Chains A and B, each alone.
Chain A
Amino acid sequence: MAKRSNNRLSSPQALEALRESIIKARDSSQTCLVVCGGTGCLALGAADVIASFRRELKERGLESKVSLRVTGCPGFCERGPLVVIKPENILYQQVSSEDAAEIVSATVKGKIVDRLLYTDPDTKKKITYEHEVPFYKKQKRLLLGSNSNIDPNVIEDYLALGGYAALAKALSGMTPEAVIGEVKKAGLRGRGGGGFPAAVKWETCRNAEGDTRYIICNCDEGDPGAFMDRSLMEGNPHSVLEGMVIGAYAIGGHEGYIYVRNEYPLAVKNARIAIEQAEKLGLLGKNILGSGFDFSVKISRGGGAFVCGESTALMASLEGKVGEPRAKYVHTVEKGLWEQPTNLNNVETWANVPLIIKNGADWYGKIGSEGSKGTKIFSLVGKINNTGLIEVPMGVALKDIIYGIGGGIPDGKKFKAVQTGGPSGGCIPESLLNLPVDFDELDKAGSMMGSGGMIIMDENTCMVDIAKYFVNFLEGESCGKCLPCREGLKRMSQILADITEGRGKEGDIELLERLSAILIDTSLCALGSTAPNPVLTTLRYFRDEYEAHIKDRRCPAGVCKELVTYSIDEEKCPGCGLCVKACPSEAITDMGKKKPVVLDQEKCIKCDACYDVCKLGAIIRK
């Protein structure tokens, strides 16, 4: 590794010289064990794996020969902890600390540990290389692809991949207007939800009147069930920073903030380290790369309120106030933080900027669909085989994501719907699986891109329950400032509770629709005005499920507790007694060997424990 320079780089040439010396000092043919240290893999025990590798390399005196790199999330969370052997790109999955010794032995001998390879579920063949795994093969990973080549705490790794070259290009050879022009031509749209053209926002902010301009990165990521922004910030914080500096230069701002939620401690830590390193090298701070341009960035940790992702609420929170939105008669680009022109963009939006400047708008414009350029990262979660983070060009068909990359639905269950756009989005049914995924097409289907959460649901998911879930979530997160959202969501939540608990009545659906219309028209901020989306889309595509709850007092998916009963399928039950042990309320009685157990519905509290433990499908939930 190159010796860390303490000198601030005074010119683009100095940056290039440093880059060259870093690359020269590195041997690209050297073996490197890459271990994912993202939140998902850490939760699966990656820290132990890393420690074991470290010990093995030390004990065998291999430290100078084989390097170890702990990186951010490459996306395939389902199969973590993930280990990739570079430069060959051999992928080992579900690695435990006990496997470390074997992996090291095999690697130094040029061998492969067969049992840790990924098996293609279709062909049942083992796949050796990361790029051949279908999950990765069908993606286009412009942003996420770098994650496995970068230790987020080592700026040299980012520099070795050409990092900050876009910044040098912008500062030394482009006017701010030219930067804006390039981003405009590239057609970059905001990735935080609305899809607003980034360059238009930048231009307005640049031209707005004020003493100073603030540049903010939105890493609040309040969408419950999405973690794209976190993975970028954790895995490649310099790409976000570089984007912010370029944006600041284009807009003419000198102070920036990264607003990140406190539930993401690793993202906070890595962003903080990245800022320090960039400052040390003069890529941030005063007189960046000798250009005379100054820009500094601070981190602000959010308190975990969904509404704080909204621009005006976020800025209020940055000022140390309660995170309540305000009416946007005056836009934040004109009067935002501390009443000054403020430009807010999402993490992923910022991370796209260096790519555009470095490779040019023409290159970028070739990726994606007509009105939505570039790639989009989605978190593919729920009832799907390959849970994880994926990145695809805009315009890819939904079914290619769900079946091609996601590997379909687990346990042979039937696909029912996919929810996109988080709490402001909607549910898309099977009949629309050919839908190209981009900003405009999702809008047309009644959903939205949102930040990129994609939650897959199968036949065991109740769509009324999902609508209730989002409405309850938003009711809890509503800041309470305006009446339609505060009271409207409460009322909608009550109605949905009635429906799912067997008290639904005629007229409920119509009332939900009327309330929805009011919320859309009269809420102060987009939290309230988009809140009806989950209800409206489930009504649009799954109205029969609502009707079954109301008219027949039945939950077709078997989810709504008050409407289901548990019983034993005597044909299937061999009397193994697993459920007897699992039942917390002694509702199931063992009738002796080989005799089916007996379930007392009077005692049953519908906790679902028996359904969970019985692997023979002998518990009927209807």
Chain B
Amino acid sequence: MTTKNKPTKQKLTSILNSYERDPGMLVAILQDIQAEYNYLPKETLTHISQGLDVPLTQVYSVATFFKAFSLKPRGRHIINVCLGTACHVRGAGRVLEEIGRQLDIKPGETTKNFKYTMETVNCVGACALGPIVVIDGKYSGQLKTDKVKTLLESYD
């Protein structure tokens, strides 16, 4: 299992309360829940819907509209490959392909052993270092395809 912890009622309630149960804060609430559990477990969506008194369909449509949210459990390490323009012109596409080849997954997918999830992002604001890959929040810049293997091997 990849979730850091199992969702509990108390935790969810405290997240909702920290935003005073304001339906306008739905996106922020989903972000906090995803930060806590690594993805959006199904039961949390129902809980939010009841807690904020907004239809489940609205919670679901917001949760699927924004790319940052995942309804599926994700791997222990989240790889974000920057595909912003600056990184693109410096060959980010090839880096993405190489990581995908090494891990045998496509963008948005998780390896079978739940070790890695590979996602793409549009500019993390460190364009000077492009092509750039962010793994668990740590930046690796000027990443050429030949350095991918060593980088991935440094995670366990």
Report A's interface with B, CB cutoff 8 A. Answer: 39-40, 42-44, 77-78, 80, 222-227, 230-231, 262-264, 300-306, 317-323, 379, 381-383, 387-388, 419, 422, 453, 455, 457, 461, 466, 469-470, 473, 479, 582, 584, 607-609, 612-613
Closest CB in chain A relative to B147 CB, distance in Å = 9
Where chain B touches its partner, the secondary structure class is helix
Segment touching A, from B4-12, B71-79, B110-118, B126-134: B126-134
Report B's interface with A, CB cutoff 8 A. Answer: 22-28, 30-31, 52, 54, 58, 61-62, 65-69, 83-91, 94, 97-98, 101, 121-130, 132, 139, 141, 144-146
| B90 touching A40, Cβ below 8 Å | no
Q: Which of B83, B94, B101, B125 contacts A40 (CB 8 A)?
A: B125
Q: How far is the CA of A80 from the CA of B142 in the complex (A)?
A: 13
**A227 / chain B contacts, CB cutoff of 8 Å:** 123, 125-127
| A608 touching B124, Cβ below 8 Å | no
| B67 touching A304, Cβ below 8 Å | yes
Can you sample 21 A-B contacts with CB below 8 Å? A39-B125, A43-B141, A77-B127, A225-B88, A263-B125, A300-B28, A301-B28, A303-B27, A303-B31, A321-B58, A322-B61, A322-B65, A323-B65, A382-B86, A382-B127, A453-B85, A469-B88, A607-B94, A608-B94, A612-B146, A613-B144
| A455 touching B86, Cβ below 8 Å | yes
Of residues B62, B101, B123, B124, which shows the largest number of chain A Cβ atoms within 10 Å of its Cβ?
A: B123
Given contacts A317-B27, A320-B25, contact A387 B127 (CB under 8 A): yes
Q: Which of B67, B122, B126, B145 contacts A607 (CB 8 A)?
A: B145
Q: How far is the CA of A40 from the CA of B145 in the complex (A)?
A: 21
| B24 touching A40, Cβ below 8 Å | no
Closest CB in chain A relative to B138 CB, distance in Å = 9
Closest CB in chain B relative to A74 CB, distance in Å = 13
Q: How far is the CA of A263 from the CA of B139 in the complex (A)?
A: 13
Q: Which of B66, B67, B69, B125 contacts A230 (CB 8 A)?
A: B125
| B89 touching A383, Cβ below 8 Å | yes
Given contacts A77-B126, A607-B97, contact A263 B132 (CB under 8 A): no
**B146 / chain A contacts, CB cutoff of 8 Å:** 582, 609, 612-613
| B58 touching A225, Cβ below 8 Å | no
| B145 touching A225, Cβ below 8 Å | no
- The 5 A-B pairs of least Cβ separation, nearest first, read A303-B66, A225-B85, A43-B139, A77-B128, A224-B122
**B25 / chain A contacts, CB cutoff of 8 Å:** 300, 320
Smallest CB gap from B123: residue in A: A224
Smallest CB gap from A423: residue in B: B85
**B27 / chain A contacts, CB cutoff of 8 Å:** 300-303, 317, 320
Smallest CB gap from A466: residue in B: B89
Given contacts A263-B124, A320-B23, contact A455 B66 (CB under 8 A): no
Closest CB in chain A relative to B21 CB, distance in Å = 11
| B144 touching A304, Cβ below 8 Å | no
Closest CB in chain A relative to B100 CB, distance in Å = 11
Closest CB in chain A relative to B149 CB, distance in Å = 8
| B85 touching A43, Cβ below 8 Å | no
**A305 / chain B contacts, CB cutoff of 8 Å:** 65-67
Q: How far is the CA of A42 from the CA of B84 in the complex (A)?
A: 19
Q: How far is the CA of A42 from the CA of B98 in the complex (A)?
A: 26
Q: How far is the CA of A613 from the CA of B98 in the complex (A)?
A: 14
Closest CB in chain A relative to B27 CB, distance in Å = 5
**B125 / chain A contacts, CB cutoff of 8 Å:** 39-40, 227, 230-231, 263-264
**B52 / chain A contacts, CB cutoff of 8 Å:** 320
Q: How far is the CA of A612 from the CA of B101 in the complex (A)?
A: 17
| B126 touching A39, Cβ below 8 Å | yes
Q: How far is the CA of A610 from the CA of B47 in the complex (A)?
A: 52
Q: Which of A39, A300, A306, A584 contacts B98 (CB 8 A)?
A: A584
Smallest CB gap from A383: residue in B: B89
**B62 / chain A contacts, CB cutoff of 8 Å:** 303, 320-322
Smallest CB gap from A606: residue in B: B94
Closest CB in chain A relative to B60 CB, distance in Å = 10
Of residues A320, A584, A608, which shows the largest number of chain B Cβ atoms within 10 Å of its Cβ?
A: A320
| B141 touching A382, Cβ below 8 Å | no
Smallest CB gap from A222: residue in B: B122
Q: How far is the CA of A473 from the CA of B31 in the complex (A)?
A: 23
**A42 / chain B contacts, CB cutoff of 8 Å:** 139
**B86 / chain A contacts, CB cutoff of 8 Å:** 225, 381-382, 387, 455
**B98 / chain A contacts, CB cutoff of 8 Å:** 584, 607, 609
Closest CB in chain A relative to B98 CB, distance in Å = 6
Q: How far is the CA of A473 from the CA of B54 in the complex (A)?
A: 31
Closest CB in chain A relative to B103 CB, distance in Å = 13
Q: How far is the CA of A247 from the CA of B51 in the complex (A)?
A: 36
Smallest CB gap from B23: residue in A: A320
| B89 touching A262, Cβ below 8 Å | no
**B65 / chain A contacts, CB cutoff of 8 Å:** 303, 305, 322-323, 479
**A608 / chain B contacts, CB cutoff of 8 Å:** 91, 94, 145
Smallest CB gap from B52: residue in A: A320
**A263 / chain B contacts, CB cutoff of 8 Å:** 68, 121, 123-125
Q: How far is the CA of A39 from the CA of B128 in the complex (A)?
A: 11
Given contacts A304-B68, A609-B145, contact A224 B24 (CB under 8 A): no
Given contacts A303-B66, A466-B89, A607-B145, contact A40 B28 (CB under 8 A): no
Q: How far is the CA of A317 from the CA of B62 in the complex (A)?
A: 9
Q: How far is the CA of A461 from the CA of B85 in the complex (A)?
A: 12
Smallest CB gap from A453: residue in B: B85
Given contacts A304-B68, A419-B85, A582-B146, contact A383 B91 (CB under 8 A): no
Closest CB in chain B relative to A298 CB, distance in Å = 9
**A264 / chain B contacts, CB cutoff of 8 Å:** 125
Smallest CB gap from B129: residue in A: A43
**B128 / chain A contacts, CB cutoff of 8 Å:** 40, 77-78, 80, 381, 387-388
| A44 touching B127, Cβ below 8 Å | no
Smallest CB gap from B139: residue in A: A43
Q: Which of A40, A226, A320, A383 contacts B54 (CB 8 A)?
A: A320
Smallest CB gap from B61: residue in A: A322
**B30 / chain A contacts, CB cutoff of 8 Å:** 303
Q: How far is the CA of A396 from the CA of B98 in the complex (A)?
A: 41
**A77 / chain B contacts, CB cutoff of 8 Å:** 126-129
Smallest CB gap from B124: residue in A: A263
Q: How far is the CA of A323 from the CA of B67 in the complex (A)?
A: 12
| A612 touching B31, Cβ below 8 Å | no
Closest CB in chain B relative to A349 CB, distance in Å = 19
